[in-house]
Amino acid sequence: MEETKSLKTKTYTGGNVIPLEKGKLPPQAVELEEAVLGAMLIDKKGVDEVIDILQADAFYKTAHQYIFESIFELFEASEPVDLLTVSNDLKKKGKLDQAGGNTYLVNLTQKVASSAHIEFHARIILQKYIQRSLIKISNEIIENSYKESIDVFDLLDEAESKLYDVTQGNIKKSSETAQSLVIQAKKRIEDISKREGLSGISTGFEKLDQLTSGWQPSDLIIIAARPGMGKTALTLSMARNIAVLKQIPVAFFSLEMSSVQLITRLISAETGLSSEKLRTGKLADHEWEQLNVKVSDLEKAPLYIDDTPSLSIFDLRAKARRLASQHGIKLLFIDYLQLMTAATSSKSGNREQEISTISRNLKALAKELDIPVIALSQLSRAVETRGGTKRPLLSDLRESGAIEQDADIVSFIYRPEYYGIDEWDDEERSPSTGQAEFIVAKHRNGGLDNIRMKFIGSLGKFEDLTQFDSAYEFPSKMNAADTPETIDPNNFASPSQAFGLDDDPDDAPF
């Protein structure tokens, strides 16, 4: 009976006690641990192969943890690693007896003849450690779930954080040789050469596509602007161009607006019916018909919208992985970055550190799924106090410089009419009403440019700015009684006014 009881708990990893079911032991591979440590003590090549795969806690036996710690510290100090140096280091720390003494170290070196297969053995040890970590976390979650004093959302947050730490800390990608990478790069170039058009995903904006060759896989793209500039309108226009016109699966995470509000804005852009009319529901008979006919393409579009508020980066990664596996999404939009949480249990970090964690993980997500991730971002108020044209700068990115560092592309939206400026600051002094500038301020793999676009405020929509469009100002109002059948284009200042395009930014929700 006493023997059975002794198996119910097992001390490992610095004395943590894990409750186990009757007769069960934690996953372990002690013999492989001995083989790996023995190989590291007799062969420098063995140290090089596994030093970045394992950590001290990955070893089940406490003596092995002390030996690996000593090997790791000697390696970091560029000191030789062998039986004598490790023994001497353990003796200095007063841990030689806890590590089994010199006799145990000698026995480890006698268990192996070389470092052959050491990496394979190390990965099995790592797998056992991950299994033990999951058991430990699961038991802690079960124990805390019975405590009424712990808030359930704090419990969820803590569980997410611990699982995320296991994923980040233990799943590592090995390096690849230049030869294998050259082969991969050549294959990609060949695939691109056979493909018609762009190498990435088309945005639906001609000049932007020319500059970027489309949004590229694994890139993190930041689109930043002050409130009211049209960040959501631009990304919805892109999402519509990609999902509706190209039938490419797209995911849109909205932390600010509800999914119904977003789809209503897409309906407005798709049907040409103003947001105001859709909000009030005051549509003429022909407009109801227009609505029913033109939303059919939007209904069939592979567009997935998630409006979970205060979404954590952990939840986002889990949801994105699920969408990628189930629906094959090729592009991810996040509106917007500052509304996300890092989902860490520690309360000591400041907001700048939290934003740094979020931006770093968004880049990691883009690489993991091999898709472009487009995140919207707010700008600081420094833009408003600046004189001149008030064009945003990289230094205006709000709350963290890490956003600029992690992103492959940083871009801004600038609409002069928002600040009461009715002409561009170029030599022609051309009218700026109903227009916007997409400023590419950082481009890791390409050039920079300021690209002008047409902004249709009443529809919450961006379009390519043609030469014909740029010759006119876009008036903000038309007579509500006018219909397409009764309009005489000669009575208006521009063709846009004839078709009822209301560009007053005050009427458009952002």
Q: Which residues are catalytic?
A: 256
- Furthest CA-CA distance within the chain: 100
CA angle 64, 67, 68 (to 5 degrees): 85
Q: Which distant-in-sequence residues (6+ apart) come within 8 Å of 135 by Cβ?
A: 18, 20, 26, 27
| DSSP character string of 256-303 | SS-HHHHHHHHHHHHH---HHHHHHT---HHHHHHHHHHTHHHHHS-E
| Distance separating alpha carbons of residues 335 and 24, to the nearest angstrom | 47
Helices and strands counted in the chain (H then E): 21, 11
| DSSP character string of 345-358 | S---S-HHHHHHHH
For the chain, the straight-line distance linking the first and the last C-alpha, in angstroms and rounded, comes to 70
| Distance separating alpha carbons of residues 234 and 462, to the nearest angstrom | 6
Phi-psi domain of 171 (left: phi exceeds 0; alpha: psi -120 through 50; beta: other):
beta
**CA 450 from centroid of its chain's CA atoms:** 25
Structure tokens at 197: 């058009």
Q: How many CB atoms lie within 10 A of CB 128?
A: 20
The interaxial angle of helices 118-145 and 152-170, nearest 10 deg, is: 180
Amino acid making up residue 282? K
CA distances from 148 to 85, 158, 223, 312, 483 (A): 52, 16, 43, 24, 64
Q: Which distant-in-sequence residues (6+ apart) come within 8 Å of 263 by Cβ?
A: 298, 305
| Distance separating alpha carbons of residues 475 and 497, to the nearest angstrom | 6
Backbone angles phi, psi at 462, to 5 degrees: -115, 145
Q: Are strands 449-456 and 435-443 parallel, antiparallel or unpaired?
A: antiparallel
Phi-psi domain of 476 (left: phi exceeds 0; alpha: psi -120 through 50; beta: other):
alpha
